[in-house]
Structure formats: C-alpha cells, structure tokens
Structure 1
Amino acid sequence: MRRLMALFLMAVAISSPVLAQDGALKRLDSGVDAAAWEAVGRLDIGGTGFCTGTLIAPRLVLTAAHCLFDSSTRERIDHGEVTFLAGWRNGRAGAYRKIRRAVVHPDYVFDGQVSSERVRNDLALLELERPIQNTTIQPFGTTARPRAGDSVGVVSYARDRSEAPSLQEVCTVLAQQEGVLVTSCSVDFGSSGAPIFSIENGVAQIVSVVSAKAEVNGDAVSLGTALGAPLALLQAELVAGKGVFLEASPTSRRIIVGQTTNQTGAKFVRP
C-alpha cells in the first residue's frame, strides 16, 4: 500500500495546467468518426453488464481481468456468456463473436485490497470462437508503456454512453510505477478494459488497459494496467492450452466499491 500511496503523491504533484490541456470526450456516433476505432468493442456479459475490449489479433481481445468476475458472488463468470461486439454503435456491430477461451493473469485476486499489485495484474485475454477477418476492423498493436508527462488517449464505453464509444484523444500520464499507470483519462462504469493509446505519427498503439478510477484530493484519475510482461504471460497461457472455464475459489476477498482506504486516502471506484 505504501507504494500505491507514493504513486498517488506523484499524481497529485502534477500541476493543474497540465490537466487543463486534456481533450474533451467525443462520442463516436458516425461511421466516419468511428472508422479508425472499429476494433474497440463492447463486451456484453451475460446480459447483466458490460466492459470494453479491444481486438489485438484476429482472434484475440484484450480487456481487464475483473470483467470476468461476478461482483456479487465473487466467482469467475463463464466466458461462454460473454459476447464481443466489435465497433458497437447505436444498435449495430461490425462483428459479433462469442468467447472460446479466456485467461486472466494468474496473480490477479478479484476484490482483494486495492493495491498496485492488484491493478498491475488486472489483465485478461479472450480467444474468440472465430477470427474477425474484416478489412474495416483492424487489430491494434501494443507497445511499451509511456513515461510520466506523455500524452495518451482512450476509447471506451461507459454507463451513460453504452450505445456508442467515446474518444478522449488527449489525456496525460500523471505517473507510472510498479506496472501501474495513473492518467487523467476520463473513465466510468463500463470503461473497464478500455484501451489507453499512445498515438505517434498518426498510428495508435495500446500501452495500457483501464483497471479502475480513483479520486485524489477530489480530482478524478484513472488507473491502468501496463502491458509488456503481463500480456506476454497471458499469450503463453493460451499457447499452453489454458483458458477453459473453471469456477473461482469462493474464498476470494471482497472490497466494497467506493471504499476509502485508510492508508492512502484515495477513493477507489472500479469502473
């Protein structure tokens, strides 16, 4: 927890003028606006909720691990009940796919105490039943995590914008430590698993996945899971044949959404 506290102190140290440069959310309602982001889609979860996911290969979707857990029972959700809706916009998707296999980071603990360890392991990889081979839906590449002060962007669905994705083209990396990125990107419930992009020379690549949102001294920030080694581990798990649905242990710990931790003073609200 001390490491997480230090991370948040770094975030608070960023001056407010930097935050003021953040771009506003733009709803991608039209095909023209959404064309470059069709590989970002909504993950419908058993008809009870949704997250955001991104195609990183014709058959692979990247998202947050906690999207595959039931918040009431604290058990793994049967990924057979999850559907990826690529480019979902106003009642239509560019492609619909069910999930064949799903792996979560082996060190991830659902609803454990909020910490840098929990956030940095909040990653899952989904294998689709059939690949998406559509010239208008191009998978995104991934790249190394950015440094504090770098500009990034995020495309996500959320509770009040579930029918079309929104783009925040410019937000800021406030800090990065222990595999966790703190950014000024705007996220809310449903944004879990959303891709955080770096954009260089007009090319967008994923550098992180949204894990949670938090408040520090009344300012909203988002927490992202860095890629690199965690993603390579998940890819190796799939190659090894893992990802068949198994129920989680009922002894998993739980934290109440919105709980304020005594150690950091930061209010966490999992999107």
Structure 2
Amino acid sequence: MRFIAVLVIALATVAGNGVRADDGALRALDTGTLGRGWEAVGRIDIGRRGFCSGAMIAPQLVLTAAHCLFDNQTGARLPDSELRFRAGLRNGRSEADRGVRRSAVHPEYRHVGSIGSTRVAHDLALLELDRPIQLSNVQPFAVYSEPRRGDEIGVVSYARGRSEVPSLEERCHVLQRDRMGVVTMSCSVDFGASGAPVFALSHGQVRIVSVVSAMSDSTDPSQRRVALGVSLGPRLDVLRAALAAGDQRFVRVQDLPSDGQRQMSSGGGARFVRP
C-alpha cells in the first residue's frame, strides 16, 4: 500500500526554545489497556492509494487534513466512496469500521500551486460517516480553538512503519503560531500522519487543538525537522457550516468534554485515569 505523503515544506527559521523535534518518545498503543481512551482516533483508508489519520469529534464526524482527500498526482478530489474510517484500528482489528457518506473541505484550501503557509492554514476537512459510531468505549473528542507558543501537546497517529497500530507522542511543544494560524510543533511525524489530532490539556480534559498537515525541515540545528498544523477556531466553524448547508439533518458539534476518560498530567504527558 502506498502511503499518503505528508507535505515537506521549507519554512523560515523557527525560533529555538531548547526543545528538540524528538523531545517526546513515540509509544505504541498496541494493547487494549494502552489504547484505552484513544479509540476515537482511527486510520482513514483511501482505496488502495494509502491512508491518513483522523479523529472523531462527534459520533458521525471525523476531523482530518484536507490534502488527504486529493490525488497527489492529478490534484483531483477523491470520491467519498474511496474513504473508510477505522476507529481504534490495532493489529488488523478496529473498534468500528465506517464508510464516508460525504465530506467537506475548507473552502479556502487549494490543492494546486506552490505549497506554503496559506495552503497549510486551510488544510482541514470533515468526514461525515455513513453511520454514527455509538459505542461506550469510542468517545468523540472535544475541541479547543487556539494552541499557544510553549504549550505542551501530544499527537496520536498512524504512519509509515506503524500503520497497524496507533502511536502516542506524549510530550512535544508548540514552537510558534503565525498570523495565519499555522502551528509549528516539535512533534515527530511521518508519512501517513497527515490528519492526526494534536491534543492539549484544557480545563482538565484532553482536547484537540490542531491537525497535523505537514512536516518541514528546520534551519535550527536543535530541531532538525518539525511538524506543521493548523489551529482550529473559526476554520472548524466554517467546515461545520459547509457540511450543514447540504443537509438539514446535520447536528452541530458541541465543544464539550465527552466522558472524562482521557486526562493528561500537569506536565503535559497524556495519561489515563485507571478504573
């Protein structure tokens, strides 16, 4: 299976803050115990072309990167029928497997021309599943609008070499957020991690604050390579409205905690509250 490429973008120097791009080790969530609370993160299979990562923000809605919905060679939008969301996929088994009824890409996203901050700033999409996932152990994530420089964050993703098991990087950092809302992060990402949710602790809950869009070489020798994402805020509202406009049955997402099963330590490392 060919992997969906994470975009590689050469950007200006990121201001150093002593955090390396590998400051948080990846941990495979390869058992039911380790994966508990993260089942709403899943792999988005794109026909036989490859895959991306994504996360549920409602029983029937998955948040991911817009570029995952386009053919990298032709630039054409892929049909929704080629997309499949596999929630909590681990070693060939998923908690739930759904097709995609329809999707919405941010209206300002353009999958043509040069790759830069403008493209990353709108690299956001919503998938509406063909059926809701309503399982007690698969709880959608709440969202939070804006990460800030210095925030400790975490990423759960599938990627090259680890496509069958999600991995958690418990502790990386926001290096900067520019005026267009592009977030530069010290997190480790690779091909396939496009669309992966970026988490932070907010009001005692783990919430999605960004979506992985790209990886970039840094001119700062202490960071080697950085991850790029997009802050949510009004962009997610635009996507919700675009999806709502096509179907009156659409239910608006509420930015509220789900069930309290996912928490992070005060140091920013993701931790579970054990039963």
When normalised by structure 2's length, the TM-score is 0.82
Contact 1:214-1:221 within 8 A present in 2 as well: yes
Deviation at 1:14, TM superposition (A): 1.5
CA-to-aligned-CA distance 1:148-182 (integer Å, 9 cap, x gap): 11100000000111000000010000000111000
Letter in 2 for 1:140: F
Letter in 2 for 1:22: D
Residue 249 (structure 1) aligns with: none
> C-alpha separation between the residues in 1 aligned to 2:21 and 2:58?
35
Letter in 2 for 1:227: L
Contact 1:19-1:172 within 8 A present in 2 as well: no
The within-5 A match list for 1:205-224 is 205-217=207-219, 219-224=224-229
Residue 49 (structure 2) aligns with: 48
Deviation at 1:19, TM superposition (A): 2.5
The within-5 A match list for 1:191-270 is 191-200=193-202, 203-217=205-219, 219-241=224-246
> C-alpha separation between the residues in 2 aligned to 1:111 and 1:212?
15
Residue 255 (structure 2) aligns with: none
Contact 1:181-1:226 within 8 A present in 2 as well: yes
Deviation at 1:21, TM superposition (A): 8.2
Contact 2:85-2:97 within 8 A present in 1 as well: yes
> C-alpha separation between the residues in 1 aligned to 2:198 and 2:57?
13
The within-5 A match list for 1:110-149 is 110-149=111-150
CA-to-aligned-CA distance 1:73-129 (integer Å, 9 cap, x gap): 110000111100000000000000000010101111114212211001000000000
> C-alpha separation between the residues in 2 aligned to 1:201 and 1:104?
29
> C-alpha separation between the residues in 2 aligned to 1:111 and 1:27?
35
Contact 1:84-1:98 within 8 A present in 2 as well: yes
The within-5 A match list for 1:184-195 is 184-195=186-197
Residue 73 (structure 1) aligns with: 74
> C-alpha separation between the residues in 2 aligned to 1:47 and 1:114?
25
CA-to-aligned-CA distance 1:200-219 (integer Å, 9 cap, x gap): 46521000000000001261
Runs of 5+ consecutive residues of structure 1 not aligned to the other structure: 243-271
The answer to whether residue 91 in structure 2 is matched with residue 90 in structure 1 is yes
Contact 1:156-1:167 within 8 A present in 2 as well: yes
SS in 1 for 2:120: helix
Contact 1:80-1:99 within 8 A present in 2 as well: yes
SS in 2 for 1:230: helix
> C-alpha separation between the residues in 1 aligned to 2:22 and 2:106?
34
Contact 2:21-2:188 within 8 A present in 1 as well: no
When normalised by structure 1's length, the TM-score is 0.83
> C-alpha separation between the residues in 2 aligned to 1:213 and 1:87?
24
Whichever structure has more helix as a proportion of its residues is 1
The within-5 A match list for 1:58-69 is 58-69=59-70
SS in 2 for 1:235: helix
Contact 1:24-1:168 within 8 A present in 2 as well: yes
> C-alpha separation between the residues in 1 aligned to 2:84 and 2:200?
27
Letter in 1 for 2:111: F
Deviation at 1:22, TM superposition (A): 2.3
> C-alpha separation between the residues in 1 aligned to 2:236 and 2:165?
27
What is the CA RMSD across the aligned residues, in angstroms? 1.7
> C-alpha separation between the residues in 1 aligned to 2:34 and 2:204?
15
Residue 36 (structure 1) aligns with: 37
The structure-2 alpha-carbon separation of the partners of 1:20 and 1:68, relative to structure 1 and needing over 3 Å to count, comes to closer
Residue 176 (structure 1) aligns with: 177
Contact 2:57-2:140 within 8 A present in 1 as well: yes
Of 18-27 and 34-43, more deviation after overlay is shown by 18-27
The answer to whether residue 12 in structure 2 is matched with residue 8 in structure 1 is yes
The answer to whether residue 111 in structure 2 is matched with residue 107 in structure 1 is no
Deviation at 1:72, TM superposition (A): 1.4
Runs of 5+ consecutive residues of structure 2 not aligned to the other structure: 1-8, 248-275
Deviation at 1:20, TM superposition (A): 7.6
